[in-house]
Amino acid sequence: MSSPLARFAPSRKFLLLACVALAGTALSAAMAWQWPLAWIAVGLFLATAVGLLVLSGQPVIEIHDTHLQVGRRAILWGDIRRVDQTNWKAPLAVYLTLAAEKRLLLMYPGNVEACEALVRYLRRHSREALLDGVSYRQFWGEPAPVARQIPPPRYPLLRPEDEEEVERMFQRLKTVGHIDRGDHRADQHDSDPQ
């Protein structure tokens, strides 16, 4: 297996913040025995601690030349059809739509610079995907490929002798102004009543 181009592990700050939230939960619970409104703080601290623990437990994301590795799951770059970034910048939340119309929420708890780098890698390697609803080439400002115009095949319609005859008639038309042969012209003069 190839070595990754980049590796994005969850930031330890989220685990530290989860521990702080758990300490706040314990402190609020101790106070709630004396003051019942503190149970609201217990619930808020506990919900925050659980959310931060979930974020800190997200799998490592690795960027490879051929695929995206999320924990043990490998996703080929060609299988990604859409990359849609949410309003969450740090921690990062990105929706990936795969070829089988399966939608995957990719969460990465990291600092702002690491989150921006991950989004840049996702957008740069997903060449067949729509990036936030815009085609890959249009998003990166690349010109669309110009289809090479192949001239239509020319099939000979006349034999070479006939082509020579048509060329002689064309030259005569250019010089005289009409193609009529002398015998047809004589017939016309005989039929004109004067």
| pLDDT mean over 139-161 | 77
Instruction: Determine what percent of the chain is predicted with pLDDT higher than 90.
Output: 18
Distances 115 to 27, 104, 133, 152 between C-alpha atoms, Å: 33, 17, 20, 51
Comparing CA positions, the residue from 98, 80, 179, 60 lying closest to residue 136 is 80
User: pLDDT (tens digit, 9 = 90+) per residue, 15-66?
Assistant: 898 999 999 999 988 888 888 888 898 999 999 999 988 988 889 999 999 9
**CATH top class, domain 62-143:** mainly beta
Domain extents for the chain?
10-57, 62-143
User: pLDDT (tens digit, 9 = 90+) per residue, 120-145?
Assistant: 999 999 888 888 888 888 887 777 66
* The predicted structure's pLDDT at residue 194: 46
pLDDT band (50, 70, 90) for residue 193:
low
Supply the pTM of this predicted model.
0.63
**Higher local confidence (pLDDT), 144 or 162:** 162
Q: How far apart are CA 188 and CA 71, in angstroms?
A: 95
